[in-house]
Amino acid sequence: MAVRDLTVAGRVRTTLTGSALAPVWVAHGLLALPFLAGLSVPLELQYAPLAVSVVLLGLPHGAVDHLAVPRVRGRPVTTRALLGVGALYGLLGGLYLAGWFLAPVLAFLLFIAITWAHWGQGDVYALLALADADHLRTRLQRAATAAVRGGLPMLVPLLSYPGQYRRVARALTGRFGVGAADLAPLFRVETRLALGVGFALLTAAALAVGLHRAPDGFGDRGWRVDAGETALLWLFFLAVPPVLAIGVYFCLWHSTRHIARLVLLDPDAVVGLRDGSLAPALRGFARDAAPLTAVSLAFLAGFYYLVPVRPATVEAAVGLYLVLIAVLTLPHVVVVALMDRVQGVWSPA
Ligand SMILES: CC1=C(/C=C/C(C)=C/C=C/C(C)=C/C=O)C(C)(C)CCC1
Ligand SMILES: [Fe+2]
């Protein structure tokens, strides 16, 4: 399928840009400012967006996967379709959960890698669907853009705030009895310097090739959005401490964009968007996401009793929540990859 099938146009697009993209750019820009001026915020407070993500935007954005698969294929939501997605979650999620008990360090690194790829793929979709990213002509360019977009939240915080990054890494793996030394090489100056230089070069190369291919050169709207967002997120993740930055980005940036993608598959929601109204879209999403958000919460509660070392602090509890997110993210990525395939994200026209 071609890109033109993917591009959202007209009033629907104006409504989504005005509600899911523009305010989020502003929020990220504004949040970076006080940190650039040297503000520091207590760690407990920084955990607030991640805590909120349990019920708002974050966790719910994946709780519609069972409906997204049949909907994106244009098929009815049958019991069989639901069982298929359920089996995917049970199987892949179950295996990966076992992996956290057997090899937590490896499981942690896999989590970073999966999230990197997944947050990257989400942004590539948004660029193509909502930003006229005609400069992303080839599959290789799109893959490079995904690598850049995913690396912004996963890698840049490691460059600017290694201490806090390491702390969260320990909170995650610590539930499974991992010593600090096991992750030490990741936080060395040499490692971070090499990763930072490599990633800056990748960012510059992806944008330079994009500019070269952009139909209107420097004036190209799609390229400008791409370059502007990339610069904004570089700044944001360099300035804002990781716990806060990733929490805000997860809820406002990634989840909002994915929800925008989902509501486009809901005919009632699209009718509303065409009239400039978000209400039917939000109502529909809340209705669709509520049941499995509740199930995930029950898992989180069960998980609390299951792990070898029960969490005693907010940080440890968030660490546990992140493991749940990790386990849910693997099958979620498979679902979104399937959406990508049906919608032609990786097959340029
Ligand atoms: C805060 C923080 C982390 C949190 C990562 C999160 C919250 C990942 C979520 C992934 C999801 C939900 C993907 C699906 O959409 C790291 C990188 C582990 C360590 C550094 C600090
Ligand atoms: Fe997601």
pLDDT in tens, 224-245: 999 999 999 999 999 999 999 9
Axis crossing angle, helix 104-130 with helix 94-102, rounded to the nearest 10: 140
Instruction: Indicate if ligand 1 lies below 6 Å from the C-beta of 232.
Output: no
Which atom of ligand 1 sits closest to the CA of residue 158? Answer: 20
Q: Write b or e for each residue in 107-125: b if 16 or more Cβ atoms lie within 10 A of its Cβ, otherwise e.
A: bbebbbebbbbbbbbbbbb
| Confidence tier at 1 by pLDDT (50, 70, 90) | very low
In short, whether 165's Cβ falls inside 6 Å of ligand 1 is: yes
Ligand 1 near 325 CB (within 6 A): yes
Does any domain span residue 39?
no
User: Rounded to two decimals, what is the model's pTM?
Assistant: 0.96
Inside any domain, residue 38: no
Range of the domain at 189: 3-32+44-343
Ligand nearest to the CA of 257: 2
Q: If pLDDT is split at 50, 70 and 90, which confidence band does 188 have?
A: very high
Give residue-wise pLDDT tens across range 146-183.
999 999 999 999 999 999 999 999 888 887 877 766 78
Instruction: Assess if residue 133 is contained within a domain.
Output: yes
Give the residue, 200 or 299, on which the prediction is more confident.
Answer: 200
Give the residue, out of 325, 333, 336, with the most ligand 1 atoms within 8 A of its beta carbon, to mutate for a pocket test. 325
349 located within any domain: no
Structure confidence at residue 180 (pLDDT): 66
| Domain assignment present for 321 | yes
Structurally, how many domains does the chain consist of?
1
The whole-number average pLDDT for the span 270-290 is: 96
- 254 annotated among ligand-binding-site residues: yes
In a domain? residue 278: yes
- Shortest-distance atom of ligand 1 to CA 62: 15
What is the mean predicted confidence (pLDDT) over 57-72? Answer: 95
